[in-house]
Amino acid sequence: MPAIRHGAKGAVISGWGTALPEKVVTNEELAATMDTSDEWIRSRTGIEERRVGGSTVGLSVESGRQALEMAGLDPSRIDALVLATTTPDKQWGTSAAVQNELGLFCGAFDVNAACTGFMYGLVTAHGLIAMGADRVLLIGTDTLSRITDWNDRATAPLFADGSGAVVLESVDGPGQMLGWDLDADGSALSILQSEVGGTIKMEGKEVFRRAVRIMVDSAEKSLAHAGVQIDDIKLVVPHQANIRIIRAACDRLGISIDRASVVIQRTGNTSSASIPLALADALDRGRIEHGDLLLLVGFGGGMTAASCVLRWGGGLE
Ligand code: COA
């Protein structure tokens, strides 16, 4: 990935929001309908419960509105809406519906890079700001429960629904993005996929094996582009697919899992929403301060991987 050409304008995140459906499905409830157990799901994945329900538009509007409120922005001031989702409500127009319901007057489009969608959207949003946009609303939302086979114990415990949003605003100078990386390896498409109208099919073990490798590879590229070391990172915000994947990736990167934001126990894998949900959780808990370096890193179907290093609040040293 090329080094960042710092132009006149960089970007910082000025607001964030989240949305989770009300309905909680616990591991015990799943165990009542299929041959699994709370103990198996907890120990193999770290998931204790997940949220299920709602639509991609509805959840996006909820998280997007919160992010706008926190940023103190009237919707009319947003220059572009980027909606990362792999579960649009309709073949097209999901982002346009969100644009309309939020009262935005700007371009709107979907980004689909499976569970890496938010990261692709984040890099895209920075690109829009480098090209002159002043305020971009980026939302990551997925309603994976709609494409999950609820009779398949190999996938049903993993996937769930949710949304996370951030407002990015232009600032003078370099902004928050210090380094980024986007990867894809289409030769691995078959190990995790969903046909149009179908449900998620997955070779779990193989996805696990590759996931750790591609997360670490991508993270190392972003660290190198940013010119920083893993020890400089205050907090890792990883895709929430399996606590064992997060742990293995942290081990290989040489950072304690205590320095990772983890929400998977209560959210499951919410795909495009997982990184913004984990980021918002860390922010809401006061785990991130101005000037901290963050490593955001994800992977997903495709297979895709992506990462970036952010200096929270932007600016130089
Ligand atoms: N409950 C109980 N047993 C289950 C089960 C469940 N929900 N799902 C699978 N099993 C069984 C298997 O049938 C297997 O039994 P066997 O040994 O008799 O054949 C055993 O548990 C072990 O299965 P295995 O697939 O080896 O488990 P695992 O440790 O690899 O964990 C995953 C399975 C799916 C949790 C794990 O591989 C994983 O998380 N992979 C990555 C998935 C992912 O991240 N997907 C999203 C990408 S964005």
Q: Which stretches of the chain drop beneath a pLDDT of 70?
A: 1-7, 316-317
Residues 107, 224: one domain?
A: no
Tokens standing for residue 123: 């890099």
User: How far apart (Å, rounded) are the C-alpha atoms in residues 84 and 272?
Assistant: 6
Residue 153 has φ and ψ, to the nearest 5°, of -70, -15
Pocket of ligand 1 (CB under 6 A): 36, 40-41, 44-45, 115, 153-154, 157-158, 192, 202, 204-205, 207-208, 211, 241-242, 245, 269, 300
How would you list the strands of the sheet with 161-172, edge to edge?
A: 9-19, 161-172, 135-143, 80-84, 107-111
Q: Are residues 245 and 226 in the same domain?
A: yes
Which of ligand 1's atoms lies nearest the C-alpha of 157? Answer: 7
* Residue 188 located in a structural domain: yes
Last residue of a domain, one of 137, 171, 205: 171
End residue of a domain, out of 150, 171, 192: 171
Structural domain for 263, as ranges? 177-311
Query: What CATH number is given to the structural domain containing 222?
Result: 3.40.47.10
Q: What's the whole-model pTM score?
A: 0.97
**What is residue 315's predicted lDDT score, i.e. its pLDDT?**
77
Residue 2 in any domain: the answer is no
Q: Is residue 5 part of a domain?
A: no
Residue nearest to atom 33 of ligand 1 (CA): 204
What does the block give as tokens for 244?
């064992």
For residue 5, the model assigns a pLDDT of: 66
| Cβ contact 82:104 at 8 Å | no
Pairing relation of β-strands 49-51 and 24-26? antiparallel
pLDDT tens digit string along 254-263?
Answer: 999 999 999 9
Task: Note whether 212 and 232 are same-domain residues.
Answer: yes
Which H/E stretch holds residue 141?
strand 135-143
Determine whether 115 is an active site residue.
yes
| Predicted confidence (pLDDT) per residue in 158-175, tens digit | 999 999 999 999 999 889
The pLDDT, as a whole number, for residue 2 is: 59
